Chain A
C-alpha cells in the first residue's frame, strides 16, 4: 500500500501520542515496582521516583515467603478460572436468544436483566439468600452471586447482533438447531467480545474482595486480595502485637510489594487473550 505524505505524518503523530499515553499510564505502576524494591528509609522519606533507590528485597521476602500467600494465590486462581469460564458459558448462552430478531418475551427478559443493574436488595438479604443456599464459607459464594453480570451479557448480545443473519439462516436451512447455530457460527465469530468479557471477568474475580470478606471465614479459603489487604492493614495499624517480620517494615514499601504481587498475574491475562482480538473471521464468509 502506497502511503501518502499525509498518512505518514498522521502515523508518526499518532504513534507519538500513543507512546505518550502509554508512558502516562505506565508511570504509576512503575512507581510501585520501584518502591517495592527500594530501600525502606528512602521510601518513607518519599525520595523514590521511577528509579529505585538502593536494592532491598525484604518486602518481597515477607510477602512471598509465607505458605499462606501461595495458598491464597491458588484460591484466587481457581476462583478466577472457574468464574470466568462459567460466566462466559452462561452469559453467551443467554445472550444468543436475546440477540435473535424473533424471540417472544425478549424485551421482558432484557428489562428483567437490566433492572438488576440499578436495583439490588442490599447486604443482609443477599447474605441470607447465600446462607440459605448453603454456600457460606464455600468458594461458590464468591463465584455464583456475581455470575450474571448484565453489563457483560449486553456486551455479548450486542456483538452477536453484528453477525449477519444470512449466515445463521443458511445454517438453519441446513437443519441446524439453535444451539448448534450458536455454538458453530455465532460464538466463534464473536471471539473479540468473548475475549473482552473474559478479561473483565478475570479481573473482577481476581480482585474480588468484598464477597470474600463477608462470606468466607476459613483462613484456608481466603483469596489473595484479602490476604494481602490484611497484611497491609496490620503493618499500618499500631498494634502492639506485631508480627515480628512486619515490625519495622515500612507499610508503604509493603503495600507496594503487595500491589505488584497482586497485579502481575492478572496483567498477563490480556496479552494472552489478545490473539482473539482479531478481525477476519467474517471475511469471505458472506457472499451475498
Chain B
C-alpha cells in the first residue's frame, strides 16, 4: 500500500509539472504585433478601466492599438495597472528599472509625489514642437504642472464639469404628500426634515461620513471647498468660524434624529439600501450613483419618485457644491525613460483631432454617426468598449456622448446648476507642502468632525481640532497656497 502511495504520488507530481509547463505555454500572454521594423519602442501605462476585450485580443493586440502603431510610427506597448493599489505597481516598475515612457495619472497628489521624488522629466522643450498639444491645453492650465519654471506633465483639461457634482436626492412623492414646498434656506431644510420624521417616521437624511463634511450643507455655510478665498487671500475652510456654524447645525440634526444615527458607520451600500427600501427620505447623492439607485428604487417602488432638489442657502446666502478642478489627468514622462522626445511626440499625435476622435468613438459610419454638431453611437460601438484604455485625451464631447449614451445625463443635468464653487487649490502648482499633507489633514478633519457632529466631543473643544490640524502641517499648506494665490494666480 505504501509503495503504491509513493508511486502514485510520483506520477501525480510529474503530471502536475507537465500540466504547469503546458499551461505556461498555453496561457502565455498574447504575442505583440510583429511589426516593429526599426521603430522606437514606447511603453504607455494606463489605469484600469475594467473593460473586457474581445476573445483572443488583449491590450497589445487589437484593432485600435494596431492603428495607433501605424499612425504614430512608434512600436507601442500598453501596460494596464491593476485596479487595486495601482501606484504600488508603478513604483515597483520604476524602481526595478522597467521604466515606462508615458504614464496616465489622474490623482494630483500621486503626480506631485513622483515629481518631488525626482522621478519625472521636464518636457518644456518638446512641448514647443508639439502643435496639437498646445492647441489642446489652454495656457492657464499648464500652471498646475509647472514647478520651478519647468513643466513636468501634460495636464489634460477637465471635461467633467458638464456633469456637475451632486445634490440632495429626495423622495419627491413624500414631499408632495406632506406639502413640503420649495426649500430655500437651511432652516427650511430643518423644518422639512422635522416634518418627515414626525409624520413619516423614517430617517429624514442619511449620509456616509466621507471626509467628515457633508456637501450641500457645507456649501451653505461657506465651507464647500477645502481651501477658499477670503479677505484677499487663501484660507483653510475647515478651521474658520463658519465651520463651527456648520458643525452646530449638523450636530442639531443628529441630536434630534434628523440625521441618520448610523451616520458614522454608514457605507455607500447602506445608504443606497435605505433609500431603495424607503427607510430614508434624503441623501446627498453624486450624479454617478443616482442612475443605479433610481433603477433599483423603481423596481421596488413603482409609484415612488426620487429627484434632485436645490441645495440650501446658509446664513450669508451662500450655497452650492464644488466643481471639478481644471485638470482631469496628468500625463507624465518618467525621467529615466530613454525616449522623452518621442514620448511627447506620441502625446502630440494623440492630441490630433482625428486621432482622439477615432479613439473616443471609433470610425464614422461604423461605430458612430454625426448629426450636426453632435455624435451618436451605433450598436457596433458596444464591441468597441475597450477603447477606454486608449483614451489618453478625453474631450468634453467624448464625455458628453458617454453620459448620454449610458443614461447618466438625466441625472447630471439636474445637478449641473448647483456646482458653482471653484476649488481654488486645484489651480495651484503641485506644491509638496500642500499635496504631501492633504491625506493627513483629511484624516484629522474626518476624525474630529464626526465626533463633533455626533456629540461625542463638545464643540467647545474645537480648538483641539485646530491644534491637531496644525500639527499635521495645515498652516504650512495654507501659507504656501496663500503666497501662490497672491503672487501668481491673481495676475491672470
Give every chain A residue within 8 A of B295 (Cβ-Cβ): 248
Q: Which of A86-133 contact B (CB under 8 A)?
A: 86, 89, 123-124, 127-128, 131
Is there a chain A Cβ closer than 8 Å to B58's Cβ? yes
Contact with A along B288-318 (1 / 0, CB 8 A): 1101110111011000000000000000000
The complex places the Cα of A41 from the Cα of B399 at a distance, in Å, of: 29
Query: Which B residues touch A236, using CB under 8 A?
Result: 268
Q: Given A45-B276, A46-B273, A239-B49, A78 and B296 touching (CB < 8 A)?
A: no
Is B59 a contact of A219 with CB atoms below 8 Å? yes
Q: What B residues does A78 contact at CB under 8 A? A: 19-20, 23
User: Whole-angstrom distance from the CB of A137 to the nearest CB of chain B?
Assistant: 7
Chain B interface: which of A161-169, A226-234, A259-267? A226-234
User: Per a CB cutoff under 8 Å, which of A46, A242, A251 touches B406?
Assistant: A242
Residue ID in chain B nearest A183 by CB atoms: B6
Closest to A137 in B: B29
Instruction: Kindly provide the distance from the CB of A62 to the nearest chain B CB, expressed in whole angstroms.
Output: 11
Q: A218-B29, A219-B58 are in contact. Are A46 and B277 (CB under 8 A)?
A: yes
Known A-B contacts A44-B296, A138-B24; the reply to A217 vs B48 at CB < 8 A is no
Shortest CB-to-CB span from B367 to chain A, Å, is: 14
Kindly list chain B residues whose C-beta atoms are within 8 Å of the C-beta of A66. Answer: 52
Write the B65-108 contact mask toward A (1 if CB under 8 angstroms, else 0): 00000000000000110111100110110011000000000000
Residues on A with C-beta less than 8 A from B49 are 239, 241
Task: Judge whether B385 and A41 touch: CB under 8 Å.
Answer: no
Interchain CB contact under 8 A, A214 and B88 = yes
B24–A241 CB distance below 8 A? no
Given the contacts A213-B82, A250-B296, A243 and B51 also touching, CB distance less than 8 Å: yes
Contact between B277 and A45, CB atoms less than 8 A apart: yes
List, in ascending order, chain B residues with CB within 8 A of A217's CB: 29, 79-80
Contacting pair B5 A128 (CB below 8 A): no
With A226-B82, A230-B50 in contact, is A139–B27 under 8 Å at CB?
yes
User: Nearest-CB distance from B390 to chain A (Å)?
Assistant: 12
Q: Which residues of B contact A231 (CB under 8 A)?
A: 50
**Chain B neighbourhood of A229, CB < 8 A:** 83-84
Q: Verify A45–B273 contact, CB threshold 8 A.
A: yes
A230 touches B273 (CB 8 A): no
- Answer yes or no: B55 CB below 8 A from chain A CBs: yes
Given A220-B30, A240-B408: A74 and B84 interface contact (C-beta under 8 Å): no
How far, in whole Å, are A166 and B133 apart by their CA atoms in the complex?
Answer: 82
Is the C-beta of A184 less than 8 angstroms from some C-beta in chain B?
Answer: yes
Among B27, B29, B59, B89, chain A packs the most CB atoms within 10 A around the CB of B27
Tell yes or no: A82 within 8 A of B by CB: yes
Q: How far is the CB of B201 from chain A (nearest CB, A)?
A: 17
**Please, which residue of chain B has its CB at the minimum distance from the CB of A39?**
B299
B24 touches A139 (CB 8 A): yes
A67 at the binding interface (Cβ < 8 Å): yes
Flag whether A42 is at the interface (Cβ < 8 A). yes
Question: A85 to B19, Cβ gap below 8 A?
Answer: no
Contact code string B331-374 (vs A, CB < 8 Å = 1, else 0): 00000000000000000000000000000000000000000000
A195-245 residues with Cβ-Cβ distance < 8 A to B are 213-214, 217-221, 226, 229-231, 233-234, 236, 238-244
Beta-carbon contact of A40 and B83 below 8 Å: no
Cβ contact within 8 Å between B51 and A41: no
Within 8 A of B (CB), among A148-199: 183-185, 188
Please tell me if the beta carbons of A240 and B403 are within 8 angstroms of each other in the complex: yes
A78-B19, A81-B16, A214-B92 known; A251 vs B385 contact (CB < 8 Å):
no
Q: A71 an interface residue at 8 Å Cβ cutoff?
A: yes
Interface status of B38 (Cβ within 8 A of chain A): no
Q: Are A233 and B84 in contact (CB under 8 A)?
A: yes
| Of B16, B29, B48, B399, the contact of A240 (CB 8 Å cutoff) | B399
Whether B96 pairs with A131 at a CB distance below 8 angstroms is yes
A85 engages B16 (CB within 8 Å): yes
Q: Is A273 an interface residue (CB 8 A)?
A: no
Q: Which of B20-75 contact A (CB under 8 A)?
A: 20, 23-24, 27-30, 48-53, 55, 58-59
A275 CB to nearest chain B CB (Å): 13
The residue on B at minimum CB distance from A245 is: B52
Choose from A44, A67, A248 the contact partner of B272 (Cβ within 8 Å): A44
CA gap between A66 and B54 in the complex, in Å = 10
> Can you list 24 pairs linking A and B with CB atoms under 8 Å apart?
A40-B296, A44-B272, A44-B277, A46-B273, A71-B27, A74-B23, A81-B19, A82-B16, A123-B92, A139-B24, A219-B53, A220-B29, A221-B27, A226-B82, A229-B83, A233-B84, A240-B402, A240-B403, A241-B385, A243-B50, A243-B52, A247-B407, A248-B292, A248-B295
Q: Which 9 residue pairs spanning A and B have beta carbons closest together? A: A218-B29, A238-B288, A45-B277, A234-B50, A41-B299, A46-B273, A44-B296, A41-B300, A241-B388
- Give A residues with C-beta under 8 Å from B: 39-42, 44-47, 66-68, 71, 74-75, 78, 81-82, 85-86, 89, 123-124, 127-128, 131, 137-139, 183-185, 188, 213-214, 217-221, 226, 229-231, 233-234, 236, 238-244, 247-248, 250-252
- Other than the given A41-B299, A217-B80, 10 more pairs (CB < 8 A) read A46-B270, A82-B16, A124-B96, A128-B95, A217-B79, A218-B58, A233-B83, A239-B288, A243-B50, A248-B295
